Each structure stands twice: as C-alpha cells, then as structure tokens.
Structure 1
Amino acid sequence: MLETSLLERAIGEPGRPVAVEPFGEGSIVRLTVDAGPNAGDWFVDTSRQAVAVETGFVVRGTEGVVARIWRHPLDPRLPALRTAVDPERLARIAAAAGTEGEIAARVLAYRPGRRAVVRLTQHDVHLFLKVVRPGEAEGLADVHDACRAAGVPAPAVVHWSPAGVVVVRDADGTPGPVAAARLAPEVLLDAVDALRERLLEVGTTRIARASVGTRAEWHLERMASALPERAAEIDALAPAVLGRVRREGPARVVHGDLHIGQLFFEDGRVSSVIDVDTAGLGDPADDAAAFIGHAIASAVRNEAADRPGDAAILRGLADAAAERWLRDPHATALTTLHLLAHGIRAAERSPESAHLLLDAAGAVAGTRAAR
C-alpha cells in the first residue's frame, strides 16, 4: 500500500491501515502505530491540496508535494484541533470565561482535513466543540441558527471563533438507537419524514456535504482493492450504480449525513438533530440512502459483536426505510454506494463485516440475492 510506504519513509515504521477517505486528487489514510516512540494515529494525505501551515512531514516529488503526513491531532487543515483536545489549554480558556474545574475532552468524530467533534465535560455538563477549517466556523454557526429558525431542532450555538471552532449545547431527548428499540419503525420514520420536510424550509444558500455519488468509481475501485477475491461481483455493481447517481431535480436543503445516531426523540417526534455541519443544498435522496446504509451497517456491527437483538431492530428499521424511500434507481444506487463506503471502512478491522456489507450492497442493487 502506497500510504504505508510513505509513512515508513517519514518515520521508519509503516503503521497499520485503519481507514481511508477520498480527498482531493487522492485520499487521506489513517494508520496506527501500536507501540514505541511513534505510537498513535498517523495520517497520510495524497490529495495534493495546499495548506496554510505545514504541521508534519512533507514528501515532495518532481511535480511538488506528493504527500503530507501528520500525527493526530496536528491536522494542518484543522489547526484548532490541538487546543480542543488539550485539557490544560481548555482549562485556561474556561478560567478566562469565569468557570473552574477539570475539563474532560473526548473526540467523538474525526474526519481528517474536514472536521472533528469533541465532547467537553465540566461539572457533569456537556458541550460539544465542532472543529472546522478556519473561515468555516461562521457559516456553521449560521446554519445552526437557520435550522432553528425553520423549526429544525439543531442544538443552540453558544460560541464560535474564526479560528475554526463552534461550541454547541447538548441535545435533548432519547438517543435514536434507544428510541429505535422503543418505537415502531413506521412511527420513527414518520418523525424522520417530518424533520426532512422542515429541513426543506431552512433558509440557506450553503452547499451540503458532497454526495457519495460524486465518487462512485472511487468506491467501486476501493472495495475491489479491499476484497479482491470478489472483484467480479463488485464489477457487476457498476452498471447498477454508474450513470444513476446524478441528482434528479433541483437542489433542496438536506442534512447531508442523516442517520439514526444523529437523531433524538421525544413524544414520537425528533426533539434534536445533531451534526448539521453537513447541511445545505443537496440531494434529498442522499439523506434517505445515508439513513438506510447506516442502519444496515450498524446491524452488521451488532451481529459481529454478538448482539442479535440490537441487530434485528436495526435490520427492521432499514427494511421499513427502504420500502418507504427506495422507489427509483437513483436512490437505490446511492444506497448501494453508502453500503460500499461502510464496507471499505470495515475492511481493515473486520473483513467479515466488509463481506456482509458487500452482500447487502448487492441485494439493494439487485445483483445478488438477499440473505
């Protein structure tokens, strides 16, 4: 793998690949070094996209930068991330704001080069710090406010900084995975549909997170690389995907990364929706596809962890959502790609799960019988 050789060239160790995401002209690969002075998460970026300040190793070739390599949290595109995970720095900031006491910081999500979510806890109170690229924070704060103005229950923004930080309050209600065990799938999906209708009324010209359909060939190629023994099956998916992923109709406001983990429920309605960082004008079918793909992937993870009850709940939710939302080749193709994306991420950690997700992609696309 190119990225392991690049990391070995930089630090003398190849690391263990954990995840990969498309980025720019290439990708960003996360690798882990398990022990020794270089222990931790490393990232190899072959996107060839410029950064304001270098924070790690730079590999150059005859045509310029070949790769950038850094250790978490020194992401050159997210300079505020280092502060966000440093308890001492956070304590100084809190003291300046008039509060004292230990602050615990936990990274809940990290998409290298794009964004991170850090949960801050002080005196049993949670705040969520969104780290984005400098210059994006104001737009992120604005979309939270626009959502709330349209009746979309996004968490309130309590602070933002042009350095690339937005701080929001905790969500209200029962977390989606818990609610899924208590509500009938149709009741839960009715609440999600009501939320999606409210999203259409959000006043924003912001562009949503790029559709998975923009990298269809990349996902097919990466899945074939991850599971080479099933390359023929993956090739058979191409006709069911390529040519069917272009958005149909005008752009509408969507969440951009809609799934059960982003939602909280109360009295049969969505009481909070988090991570509207990805929201904006986009393809409504992508929200449906992301929701179904995530539910199936979560079911597979629960099956692998020997939690059949939780897996069955998520399978039932995915089936009900597919029956409701997958009514054309376009939405079906996007769902297939979301499942491939989950399979690519699972391949290094759990090859069995990657095979099951490829099975699911084939079943959705109609190239493989469901099992």
Structure 2
Amino acid sequence: MLEQRLLEKAIGVAGRLIAVEPFGEGSIARFTVDAGEHAGDWFVDSSRQPVAVETGFVIRSRDGAPVARIWKHPLDPRLPALRTALDPDRLARISRAAGSEGDINARVLAYRPGRRAVVRLTQHGVHLFVKVVRPGEAEDLAGIHRACREAGVPAPEVVHWTPAGVVVVRDATGTPGPVAASRLSADELLDAVDDLREHLLSVRTRRIARASVGSRVDWHLRRFAADLPDRAADVRALLPALVPQLRRVGPPRVVHGDLHIGQLFFDGGRVSSVIDVDTAGLGDPADDTAAFVGHATASAVRNEVAGRDADAALLQGIADAAADRWLHDPHAAALTALHLLGHGIRAVDRSPAAAHLLLDRARTLAGVRVAG
C-alpha cells in the first residue's frame, strides 16, 4: 500500500500495518516496527490537513504542499500534550507540585491519531484518566462533562484541564458493563440504558456529537472491499441498500455518540458511570442505537470465533434484545450495518473469520425489511 511505501522511503523500514482510519482527504495509517533503531509505532497521515508544528517527516508535492506526514508515537502533531502525558519525569514534577510523591505508571488505553488519546495514570493505587485532545478543545470537553453531570448523567468528574489539550477526570465508579451483563438480565440492563438515554436528552449543550458513521459510508465500503477482495462484490452490493436509508428522522437530540456496553458501569440496576462522553452532543439518536447493537453483535462474533460460546450467547442475547427494543426503522438498521462493517475492518488482520461473519451480518441486516 502507498502508506507503507512512504514509511519505508522515510525510515528505510516498511513496518507492519496495524490499522487505518479515515481522516480529512485521506487517512492515518498505523504501523509497528518490531526491532532496530526505529522500533515503535509509526503513523502515515495522508489527510492533507494542516498542523501547527511539524513533528516528523513531511513529504511535499512539487509546489510545496504537504502530501503526507510521518511521525513516531507519541509525537502526534495534532496532540502535542500527548508527549507530556507519557513522560515520567514531567509527570513526577506535576505530582510533586501537587504534594504527592511516588512512582506514577502511565498507560495508553485508547488512541485515535490526530483526534484524541486516553492515558491512565496510577499512583498509590489511585487512577486518574488524562484525556489528550487538540489544543483549544479541552475547555469544550470539560464543559460537556459538567453539563452531563448537571443533567443527572453520571460522567466522571473533571479535576483539571488546560488549554494545551489536557482534561483530567476521576475514575468511574461501579461494576464494568461487561461484568454487569453477566449478572443482569438483558431487559434489566437495557432498562438502565434507556434511563441513561433519557437523561442525555436533558443535557444542555450546543455541542455537536461525533460525526455519524453514515457520513463515512463510501470509505467503509471501499476499505472493506480492499481488505477482503474475495468478498468485494458482496461489499459493493451494500451501497444501494444502505445509502437511501441514511437520512436522519427528526431534529438533532443529545446523544452519547459512541454508546456501547464497554462505556458503562453499573450499581445494581442503574448506570453509575458513563465514560467517554467526549463524543456527546447534538446528533442522531439512531447512532447510539446502532453503536450499541453493533458493538454487542461484534463482541458476540469475536467470542464465537474464539470458541467462547457462553460469552458469545450472552452478548448476542443483549444485541438481539436491544435490536427488538430500539431497531425500528431502516435508517437505524443501515447505521447498524455500517457499525458492523467498521468492526469487521478492524478484525480483518486479527480474525479474518470474524470479519467474514460481520460482513454476513451486515448484509443480512441491510436486506431485512425492518418493521416501522
């Protein structure tokens, strides 16, 4: 692929492709170099989107315009605070200034290059979570956490933020969703999620939620067809089935933006914490439905392929119950099919069998006449 050739041209090593995400006019591809002087994670950015400061190699066109950027983690040019959040010496100085001594362990839990990262800091057994975003976005992120809490949505408390692009939040409370799912019936779990979604509707914000998966339908189909060339015809057949249905019904409402069981914590039969409200804002409620059903279905498929039949059955039961409760129009069904494709793209390298199954589920869903 082009990105791999660009990386090899820059550092002399092609690296191993890990993931590709759409970004701007192109994408950001992640590679791993396993050994040698360039060992680590490298990123090739073909988005042509501007940055304030270059932090790696820049490949330019004849007229001088950037064609691609190549950098090594954590030197993301759009997330300059990421380097600080992972630097032990800087973290120790910050901790001492706050009156605390002792080793700090920093671990990256999530990273979307160019967009955001989540770093867990652990000191004396206490966790804090550092959300690293683009400079200028931190105040907005702190604000949506505060607005959620004021509306009864149990987002984590913000303890610190800086304009440089850092928001620090406390740990979530309660039992993680995947564990709670084994203790609650599907209906009890979904009742709690319904209550959470109702509270979200009362959050006072003008913030726009994360872009709908429906806005990237072409990219998802092109990418999946390229990754599974033997199924390219099956992938292309989804386009006419999905595109006519991708029209939001009704005005925008406040949604989570990436709602799934892994974002939730429970205390008995209620949601005690909901994390990653970074994506929350005004959007399409069908996107939350699709994200939840898609994630539960994809988790069931991964467990099925791995031979964990009990876990697969549990998760599929939740997915089916959620679909019966919420999936009542072709628009939401089309969005759910796209979420399944997104999970399938991520599964191609690690579990081709899961990718094929997810494509089959997406095709079935797109072809099913959903009751209105």
**With structure 2 as the length reference, what TM-score do the two structures score?**
0.97
Q: Which amino acid aligns with 1:360?
A: R
Three-state SS of the structure 2 residue aligned to 1:10 is helix
Give the 5 Å matches for 1:14-163.
14-63=14-63, 64-163=65-164
> 1:254·1:284 contact (CA, 8 Å) conserved in 2?
yes
Q: What is residue 277 of structure 2 aligned with on the other side?
A: 276
> 1:128·1:167 contact (CA, 8 Å) conserved in 2?
yes
Three-state SS of the structure 1 residue aligned to 2:29 is strand
Q: CA deviation at 1:13?
A: 1.1
Three-state SS of the structure 2 residue aligned to 1:231 is helix
> 1:217·1:242 contact (CA, 8 Å) conserved in 2?
no
**Range with greater deviation from structure 2 (236-245 or 50-59):** 236-245
Residue by residue, what CA displacement relative to the aligned partner does 1:198-237 show, whole Å, maximum 9, x if unpaired? 0010000001111000011111111100101011111121
Give the 5 Å matches for 1:196-235.
196-235=197-236
Q: CA deviation at 1:349?
A: 2.2
Q: What is residue 249 of structure 1 aligned with on the other side?
A: 250
Number of residue pairs matched by the alignment: 368
Counterpart Cα distance in 2 of 1:7 and 1:34: 14
Q: Which amino acid aligns with 1:326?
A: L
Three-state SS of the structure 2 residue aligned to 1:242 is helix
Residue by residue, what CA displacement relative to the aligned partner does 1:53-82 show, whole Å, maximum 9, x if unpaired? 001111111351111111111100000001
Q: CA deviation at 1:325?
A: 1.3
Counterpart Cα distance in 2 of 1:367 and 1:16: 38
Q: Which amino acid aligns with 1:216?
A: V
Q: Which amino acid aligns with 2:256?
A: H
> 1:17·1:348 contact (CA, 8 Å) conserved in 2?
no
Q: CA deviation at 1:366?
A: 2.2
Counterpart Cα distance in 2 of 1:283 and 1:359: 26
Q: What is residue 294 of structure 1 aligned with on the other side?
A: 295
Counterpart Cα distance in 2 of 1:232 and 1:26: 23
Counterpart Cα distance in 2 of 1:78 and 1:111: 10
Residue by residue, what CA displacement relative to the aligned partner does 1:9-51 show, whole Å, maximum 9, x if unpaired? 1111111111111100001111111111111111111100000
Show structure 1 runs of 4+ deviating over 3 A: none
Q: What is residue 264 of structure 2 aligned with on the other side?
A: 263
> 1:131·1:166 contact (CA, 8 Å) conserved in 2?
yes
Q: Which amino acid aligns with 1:53?
A: V
Q: Which amino acid aligns with 2:327?
A: L
Matched, 1:341 2:342: yes
Three-state SS of the structure 1 residue aligned to 2:102 is coil
Three-state SS of the structure 2 residue aligned to 1:18 is strand
Q: CA deviation at 1:300?
A: 2.2
> 1:18·1:349 contact (CA, 8 Å) conserved in 2?
no
Three-state SS of the structure 1 residue aligned to 2:60 is strand
Counterpart Cα distance in 2 of 1:269 and 1:126: 23
Q: CA deviation at 1:350?
A: 2.0
Counterpart Cα distance in 2 of 1:118 and 1:235: 38
Q: Which amino acid aligns with 1:198?
A: H
Three-state SS of the structure 2 residue aligned to 1:20 is strand
Q: Percent same amino acid at aligned positions?
A: 75
Q: Which amino acid aligns with 2:219?
A: W
Counterpart Cα distance in 2 of 1:192 and 1:337: 22
Three-state SS of the structure 2 residue aligned to 1:121 is strand
**Range with greater deviation from structure 2 (277-286 or 32-41):** 32-41
Q: What is residue 193 of structure 1 aligned with on the other side?
A: 194
Q: CA deviation at 1:305?
A: 3.2
Residue by residue, what CA displacement relative to the aligned partner does 1:340-360 show, whole Å, maximum 9, x if unpaired? 111111112222221121111
Q: Which amino acid aligns with 2:361?
A: A
Counterpart Cα distance in 2 of 1:342 and 1:84: 29
Q: What is residue 167 of structure 1 aligned with on the other side?
A: 168
Unaligned runs of 5+ in 1: none
> 1:237·1:367 contact (CA, 8 Å) conserved in 2?
no
Q: Which amino acid aligns with 1:228?
A: P
Q: What is residue 8 of structure 1 aligned with on the other side?
A: 8
Counterpart Cα distance in 2 of 1:169 and 1:59: 41
Unaligned runs of 5+ in 2: none
Three-state SS of the structure 2 residue aligned to 1:99 is coil
Q: Which amino acid aligns with 2:228?
A: L
Q: What is residue 314 of structure 1 aligned with on the other side?
A: 315
Three-state SS of the structure 1 residue aligned to 2:38 is coil
Counterpart Cα distance in 2 of 1:184 and 1:209: 30
**Range with greater deviation from structure 2 (228-237 or 133-142):** 228-237
RMSD, aligned CA:
1.2
Q: Which amino acid aligns with 2:223?
A: R
> 1:236·1:367 contact (CA, 8 Å) conserved in 2?
no
Counterpart Cα distance in 1 of 2:318 and 2:324: 10
> 1:20·1:29 contact (CA, 8 Å) conserved in 2?
yes
Q: CA deviation at 1:367?
A: 7.0
